[in-house]
Chain A
Amino acid sequence: MPLIRIDDKEIEAPEGETILRLALKHGIHIPYYCWHPALSIVGQCRMCLVEVKGVPKPLTACSTAVTSLPPDKKIDGKYDMVVDTKSQVTKKAQKGVLEFLLLNHPLDCPICDQAGECQLQEYSYTYGEPASRLEFEKVHAPKRVDIGPHVVFDVERCIKCTRCIRFCKEITRTEELTLAERGVHARVETFPGKQLDNPYSVCTVDVCPVGALTSKEFRFKQRVWFLTSTNSVCQECSRGCSVRVDTYKGEVLRLVPRDNPKVNGPWMCDYGRLISERMKDLTVLARPKVREGGRLTAVPWPGFAQVLQKKVASSLKDGAKDAALIWSGRMPLEEMAAAKALSAGIFGGLQGTLPKVCRGEDDDLLIRKERRPNLKGAALLGLAVTGENAPVSSLLKGKKVALVVREDVVGEAQGPEKDAIKAALSAMDLVIVADYALTETAALAHIFIPLAGWHEMEGTVVNFMGVVQKMARSVLPPRDRKAFYEVASLWLSSAGIDAPEASFLAWHAQVRKAVPGMKDLMIRDILPHGVQLPEVGP
């Protein structure tokens, strides 16, 4: 293998590896804009120019591959390539390119939403000169161009790295974007009559190194340095994309994909990302409710578990055959384990069922038609799952008691099926709904248990490929909004049944015992990219 020296690091590198990849892998930072690990190499921003010994001009680190020299031509007797990322030649090239990039850039950082996470800002501090030598009117270009349902384009800020163009060409293959015009007037544009409208369009905002492309939903919500970030998992399909959840004062402001080669690469779909928008429309309750005189009335948690247990016990006089338990693929493994414990302890061994909610079709990038993140986890724990979009009314019809957790069975259903579910629930003696929001189903409940949202609790989920990942508590919920495993602990205790402590770790220990392949996994093994569980037989 060729031996290459970058600064004072000696690296053995496979032939064909580029200088930039090697340097980054070994902790040497070479600045770059147009290069992106998942996109083709174009070498056009020229930011990564470095001095390579024996070559008269600086070379782009992103596109220059390592090759081996014949033994008698080795540099200093042993190197196939010697790169200097700190030399005068390199520094002059970097300063020159940065000055050019900023030449017609509006420098409107104070009103730019990218400020704080802008590569142009960062490199200017690290590699640039404090002042520009341009003494002319800058070239102006349109601002606030509405190029798609979720993306706004500021043409002036664009540095023409073409990452967004390549994303739409190479990743989504939708080709909405191109470079138009020439020279200093060159600009990214949508093709005539087209909008930047594909299921992954906000990824262009992620790949944009500057403030040219910003997200309509997130822009101006908050300065990024005020955000608190946690690593979690997207809940909107069985892919379970690794995400970073950015919150401010308890509100989820945005989801950003985390580069995870096991699951989603650097991308995620707009639908999953915009869960933060849909959450705004929910009516969220902070306290348990019990129907009294036709109205749901808030009650305090102390004593609530006893009320719950008493009502269930009195309604199940004829045994568990009168009950229906609906679990959800939204529940993490720990909640599912808790659900199993409730089945055994409270409902006399009655099995619950998870609706397999599907919408649309799988695409060839990330999106899965199975809209729940932990259906595979249910299978691993031995929970029953219905057929694809199978009617839930048949599970409820004729029962006296229902416990529905994290599924809005009424809201998801349509037409006669919806009426059938409503009728079945209305005819019951006791309907208990446990959910984050006051859903259509919850409106029919006799007892409502407020559950922590996906962003308010810890848990582990297994995606369709069998990769187990950990959700994080991005926001601390009000005290009475609990994860279902906490509810289960309290409920079981109130019925006098031994239960694990009301905590994530206690229930996670149960999960590790129950799920094949998780026995020896520590939480730190699962972070940050998850672990592929061994395939188990059907």
Chain B
Amino acid sequence: MAEVLKLLTRNVGKANSTNVDSYMASGGYEPLMTALHKMSPEQVLGEVKASNLKGRGGAGFPAGLKWSFLPKGRDRVKYLVCNADESEPGTFKDRLLIENDPHAILEGMILAGFATQAAGAFFYIRGEMPQGFRIFQRAVDQAYERGFLGKNILGSGFGFDVYVSRGAGAYICGEETALMNSLEGKRGEPRLKPPFPAGFGVYGQPSNINNVETYANVPLIIKNGGAWYAAIGAPSAPGPRLYGVSGHVKRPGVYELPSGVNLRELIYEHAGGILGDRPLKAVIPGGSSVPVLRADQIDVTMDPDGLKKVGTMVGSAGVIVMNDTVCMVKAMVNLMQFYAHESCGQCTPCREGTHWLKLILQRIEEGGGKPGDVDLILDVSNNIMGRTICPLGDAAAMPAIAFATQFRDEFDAHIREGRCPMAHTHMTVAV
């Protein structure tokens, strides 16, 4: 059994963990001092590249490579953005960090700013996280007081500012360019790419955007070295990883484990097994947007290669566990209601397709399904897949296709019987 790590979560649970003094008492901001006084920006970037840190927002893009897309030097004003709009269903790992260890995120952002010679950063936090906002804003204020932010940080000559900005409750604003539009006060709609943020980002300046957890890894890398980091967990996407396990498990929560942990072990050992000791039915391994797995597919490692074998992705590592009481049609209705509600309405396939899928799925669940409905779901989903401006279309279509193919018998039973076969059991779960 893989050992639970205390790297990203090192300060979680400590008294006053959000305070700058307690953060510094456990070695906080030392990596920043090291970087500012003993390293060049190129060296910091080099360590991050050597660590092979992969983005933790869902797409898993190499962070060091992303940073290197920004133009070099300080001639142009460049911005960093921290994407704290964590709103993917089943995902709650960033909130843990924001509310328990804001300075680790902040330190990571300043280090990234130093490596890329950015002028400042925007911390865009989900509107529904008022507590996280207050905590992070206080952390920023404290960092200014202690000279970790501002014009001349710790006498190094490097200046960096951080602005905290709140979202207004839209899932789409977690998409990087929609976030930037929202940040600028515009309607939260993804931008057409190219141009990419590295060339034309926030306020039209070159910008780099990373997830909360990605930034929180940076101080660890600078403290211990890229090689140390690269040796943790799965080599293709190394490092500690926060797994948020929810649903029908006995101990739901965020678990810090090496990347590439076995999914079965995560569910049965760390999360304590299935609620009510009932049979497992399905697992969504990486937040609601990735394809769902059947119970017989969970002997896989939680890394890109392992999950690719069963046709899914790590995504945000939000593991949603469903036992045999769950109606898969109803679960999919729930998800599609979410995507139809959150589609920004900008481009046609996602705007119209998610709404249509929702109606078809609802009809099946309510017993009005017609023969051919499953094929219709698949065809509509395929008409959305790869046809939209941003990944929200894919994020809605992928689970729809996976639910309808992985659990086709359950969909067919709904249509054949003209009712939900699970109707009597899914409401209550005996613990």
Contacts and interface: CB of A to CB of B under 8 A. Distances in A.
User: Is B truly associated with A?
Assistant: yes
Interface of A: 41-47, 49, 56-58, 63, 92-93, 96-97, 99-101, 103-104, 133-136, 139, 159-160, 178-179, 181-186
A99 B383 contact: yes
Contacts of B189: 179
Given A43-B389, A97-B349, A183 B192 contact: no
B156 interface: no
B383 to A, nearest CB: 3
B349 A96 contact: yes
B343 interface: yes
Given A183-B340, A184-B352, A136 B345 contact: no
A104 B346 CA distance: 15
Nearest to B188: A182
B192 A63 contact: yes
B340 A44 contact: no
B344 interface: yes
Given A42-B192, A182-B170, A184-B352, A56 B345 contact: no
A160 B387 contact: no
Given A46-B388, A101-B348, 4 more contacts: A42-B346, A46-B348, A100-B351, A183-B344
Contacts of A185: 345
Contacts of B385: 57
B351 A41 contact: no
B150 to A, nearest CB: 37
B376 interface: yes
A178 B186 CA distance: 11
A103 B341 contact: no
Contact of A44 (B346, B355, B356): B346
Nearest to B388: A46
A46 B382 CA distance: 14
B344 to A, nearest CB: 6
Contacts of A101: 348, 352
Given A44-B389, A184-B352, A178 B187 contact: yes
B354 interface: yes
A49 to B, nearest CB: 6
Would you list the 4 A-B pairs with minimal beta carbon distance, nearest first? A186-B345, A96-B383, A57-B386, A100-B352
Interface in B299-357: 340-349, 351-356
Contacts of B347: 43-46
Given A43-B192, A103-B356, A183 B348 contact: no
A100 B192 CA distance: 20
22 contacts: A42-B346, A43-B192, A43-B347, A44-B347, A44-B389, A46-B347, A57-B386, A58-B387, A63-B192, A97-B383, A100-B348, A100-B349, A100-B353, A100-B383, A101-B352, A103-B355, A133-B376, A179-B187, A182-B345, A184-B343, A184-B355, A186-B346
Contacts of B356: 100, 103, 134, 136
Contacts of B388: 46
B345 A179 contact: yes
A45 B351 CA distance: 10
A256 to B, nearest CB: 27
A155 to B, nearest CB: 13
B381 to A, nearest CB: 11
Contacts of A63: 192
A92 B347 CA distance: 17
B383 A183 contact: no
B129 interface: no
Nearest to B171: A182
B359 interface: yes
A104 B352 contact: yes
B338 to A, nearest CB: 11
Contacts of A182: 170, 172, 341-345
Nearest to A139: B355
B386 A96 contact: no
A136 B357 CA distance: 11
A160 B346 contact: yes
Interface residues of B, number: 32
B187 A183 contact: no
A184 B340 contact: yes
Contact of A186 (B344, B353, B359): B344
Contacts of A58: 386-387
Q: Which of A97, A136, A178, A184 has the most CB of B within 10 A?
A: A184
Interface of B: 170, 172, 187, 189, 192, 340-349, 351-356, 359, 363, 370, 376, 382-383, 385-389
Contact of A183 (B341, B363, B370, B386): B341
Nearest to A64: B194
B407 to A, nearest CB: 22
B345 A45 contact: no
A183 B343 contact: yes
Contact of A41 (B192, B341, B370): B192
Contacts of A46: 347-349, 387-388
Contact of A56 (B192, B344, B352, B386): B386
A535 B385 CA distance: 57
A214 to B, nearest CB: 22
A174 to B, nearest CB: 18
Nearest to B362: A136
A54 B348 CA distance: 24
A92 B172 CA distance: 27
Contacts of B348: 44-47, 97, 100-101, 159-160
Nearest to B346: A44
A44 B354 CA distance: 16
A56 B385 CA distance: 11
B387 A183 contact: no
B367 to A, nearest CB: 15
A45 B389 CA distance: 10
Contacts of B359: 136
A184 B351 contact: yes
A93 B355 contact: no
A181 B345 contact: yes
Nearest to A96: B383
Contacts of A103: 352, 355-356
A330 B194 CA distance: 50
A68 to B, nearest CB: 16
Given A183-B355, A184-B351, A96 B345 contact: no
A240 to B, nearest CB: 37
Contacts of A96: 349, 382-383, 387
A149 to B, nearest CB: 26
Contacts of B346: 42, 44, 160, 179, 186
Nearest to B383: A96
A47 B345 CA distance: 15
Contacts of A133: 376
B387 A57 contact: yes
Nearest to B386: A57
B387 A93 contact: yes
A159 B346 CA distance: 10
A534 B383 CA distance: 55
B61 to A, nearest CB: 17
A453 B385 CA distance: 57
B66 to A, nearest CB: 22
B107 to A, nearest CB: 36
B5 to A, nearest CB: 37
A92 B387 CA distance: 11
Contacts of B354: 183-184
A28 to B, nearest CB: 21
A19 to B, nearest CB: 14
A227 B351 CA distance: 36
Nearest to B339: A183
Nearest to A41: B192
A133 to B, nearest CB: 6
A379 B370 CA distance: 76
Contacts of A41: 192
A160 B192 contact: no
